[in-house]
Each structure stands twice: as C-alpha cells, then as structure tokens.
Amino acid sequence: MRAVCSSRSSAPRFTGALWRISLAVAWVKKSTCCSFFNTFCMAEEEGEAEKSNKQEFMELQRHPTSGDFFQTLGYELEKVKMQGELVVGEKFAEGGQAELFHAKVTWWNPKDNERDERKGIKHVVKVFKKGTFLRDLKSQLPHGLLQKHVEEIENLKSPIPKVTPRYFCQVLRGILLKNGQFAFLMQKDDFDLRSLIERNMELRSGGDCGPFSREDGELMMYDIALGVDWLHNRDIIHRDLKASNVLVKEFKSGWPKWICYIADYECSVGVVGTGFFRVPEILQACKERTLSQKLYYNF
C-alpha cells in the first residue's frame, strides 16, 4: 500500500514539473522571437533613417546662407565638394541622444592644417545614435547656431578679420557620416567642469574647502555668465546648463588656471533639461501641463 500511495503522490509533482518546464521553454521561444523581431524592426528603422537623413542633409546643404555649415568629410554627397578626411577614434562619453568620439581631421586646404597645428586644435565628433532622424533634429537646431557660422565666414572674408573672444564650445560643422548618422564636428577642450570639480575635491584636505579659491571661482562664473550672454544675444536658450555642460581649458602655469566655455547648446530647442537643473518656469510648466508652450518659446 505504501508503495502505491507513494507512486500516486509523486504523479502530481511530476506533472507540475513538466508544466513548469513547458512554460519555461515557451517563454524562451517567445523571448527569442521577440528579440529577433525587435532586432529586425531596429535594422529596418536604421535603414530608413539612413536614407531619409541623406535627403534631409542635401536639403540643408542647398540653403543659400547656412548651407556651407553642413559638410561631408571623406566622401561627396551629390555635387557638394567635401572639405577633407575624417577618422573617428575612440568613444569617450555618451548621452541620451548621442555619443562623443575623438576624431582626426585632415583638411584639403593645407593652410587649415597648419592653423590647427599652430594653435594646437584637436577635434571631437558628437554622433547621434543610429536610427535618429535628421528631420526631427532639425527642429532642435537654434537659428543662432547657423547665424554664428555665417558671421564667422563673413568675418574671415573681411580685409581685416576681427579677433573675438570665445565663451562657448566651438561647433565647427554639421556632418553626415557615410552610414547616414548625423554628427557635429567640434573643437576639443580639456575636460568638463564637473570632472574638474570632482578632481579638485579629491585633492582637498580641509573639511570646508571647496574645489576652487574664491578668485578662481569668481572668474569661472564670470566666464559662464559671458557664455550665457553670448547665447542670449543670438536668441539661443540653453535649457540644460549644468557643470557637465561647461567645458574647461586648463593652463599649466600662470593665471587664470582655467577658462570655461558653454557647451551642448547646438540642439537646445525643445529641451526639457536635467532633473534638479531645470529652471523654475520649466518646472512650473510641467506642473501646469503647458510644457510644449514653454519649450518652443523664443525671444
């Protein structure tokens, strides 16, 4: 009797184990199928974005005043001549929309290469992630960014070009990579302000000491204020100003030790901002559900 009872009592447990195994197999099959489907859809979307971006980019190149801002490097698109060669290097940072890479640019004009060598200019590219449509990014480009490029070209053509101070990250060109990804070619600075603050705080031994002396801190704040003023004079509202969006050039000797430049303003239209750094009017708009009206407000 005991043997019979034992056999009967194990049957439900055995059946339950089979049922759980069947569920697990079904879940794996479903996950694999979903993963394959998502990969297929992503690849299809990336292919669509590549084709669309080439068309949008050619339209931007045809603009009568700001078309020269949009260039290709390493290949020609339509009849617009490329300005040089681009080698994309190692990735060193990543955000929600884009990734940052070291870059090597060789201009066709030898004078441009000599200038970069003389001034110690190096480059980075901010590459928007695969599947990003340029037609959507266009609405985020502030007009002041393109106007700055036009002003710089006119200044270079002048008999006596003006030398103006820089309070901002130098966005040199909007470029389209061969794979259809849109990117910004930018002048490289040493690091961002957040990294500098963290580095200096690690070196401090005193309990109440901040990352900078009063004199250095005041000058850096003044640099940032001049950068914001420069943006506002060109109708550019940053909307995401924080330490990691301020770039720094460091000097090994003398004073000042650092110069600050406003960065990440090149796609600022419609930006909500980052958490605790959001301005009061954006927080109020989120509360009142009128955010879309605030984001596209211009001066």
Asked whether residue 274 falls in the same domain as residue 154, the answer is no
- For residue 240, CA distances in Å to 122, 200, 226, 265 come to 25, 24, 16, 8
Is 178 within a domain? Answer: yes
Domain annotation covers residue 4: no
- Residue 2 belongs to a domain: no
Distance CA 121, CA 112 (A): 10
Domain final residue, candidates 155, 188, 221: 188
Range of the domain at 50: 13-188
Task: Return left, alpha or beta for 87; rule: phi > 0 is left, psi -120 to 50 is alpha, else beta.
Answer: beta
Q: In this structure, are 25 and 173 located in the same domain?
A: yes
Of 128, 95, 116, the residue nearest 188 (C-alpha): 116
Q: Are residues 180 and 243 in the same domain?
A: no
Question: How far apart are the C-alpha atoms of 16 and 22, rounded to whole Å?
Answer: 10
C-beta of residue 63 within 8 angstroms of C-beta of residue 79: no
Residues of the chain with pLDDT under 70: 1-17, 19, 24, 26, 28-45, 206-208, 270-273, 275, 289-299
Task: For residue 1, tell me if it sits in a domain.
Answer: no
Backbone dihedral angles phi then psi of residue 125, each to the nearest 5 degrees: -120, 135
Residue 72 lies in a domain: yes
DSSP label at 80?
B
What CATH number corresponds to the domain at position 209?
1.10.510.10
Integer CA distances (angstroms), 74 to 3, 17, 113, in order? 81, 61, 16
CA of 241: how far to CAs of 58, 83, 87, 255, 263, in Å? Answer: 32, 32, 30, 25, 8
Q: Exposed, middle or buried: residue 112 (CB in 10 Å: 0-12, 13-18, 19+)?
A: middle
Domains: count for the chain: 2
User: Residue 242, exposed/middle/buried by CB under 10 A (0-12, 13-18, 19+)?
Assistant: middle
Q: Which of 166, 188, 210 is the last residue of a domain?
A: 188
Same domain, 65 and 22: yes
Is residue 57 in a domain? yes
CATH at residue 178:
3.30.200.20
184/218 same-domain check:
no
In a domain, 6, yes or no: no
Confirm if 181 and 196 have CB atoms less than 8 A apart: no
Q: Is the four-CA dihedral 282, 283, 287, 288 of positive or negative sign? A: negative
C-alpha angle with apex 23: 20 to 29, nearest 5 degrees? 145
Q: Is 274 within a domain?
A: yes
Both structure tokens of 61: 């190149």
Say what the pLDDT of residue 223 is. 97
Residue 200 and residue 93 share a domain = no
Please indicate, yes or no, whether residues 217 and 96 belong to a single structural domain of this protein.
no
Burial class (CB in 10 A: 0-12, 13-18, 19+), 211: middle
212 and 263 share one domain = yes
Write down which residue in 188, 206, 229 finishes a domain.
188
Go through the chain and tell me how many residues it has: 299
Query: Does a cis peptide bond (omega within 30 degrees of 0) precede residue 165?
Result: no
Indicate if 135 and 263 belong to the same structural domain.
Answer: no
159 shares its domain with 222: no
C-alpha distances in Å from residue 206, one per residue of 188, 195, 200, 202: 33, 19, 12, 11
Q: Same structural domain for residues 194 and 238?
A: yes
DSSP state of 166: -
Same domain? 27 vs 169: yes
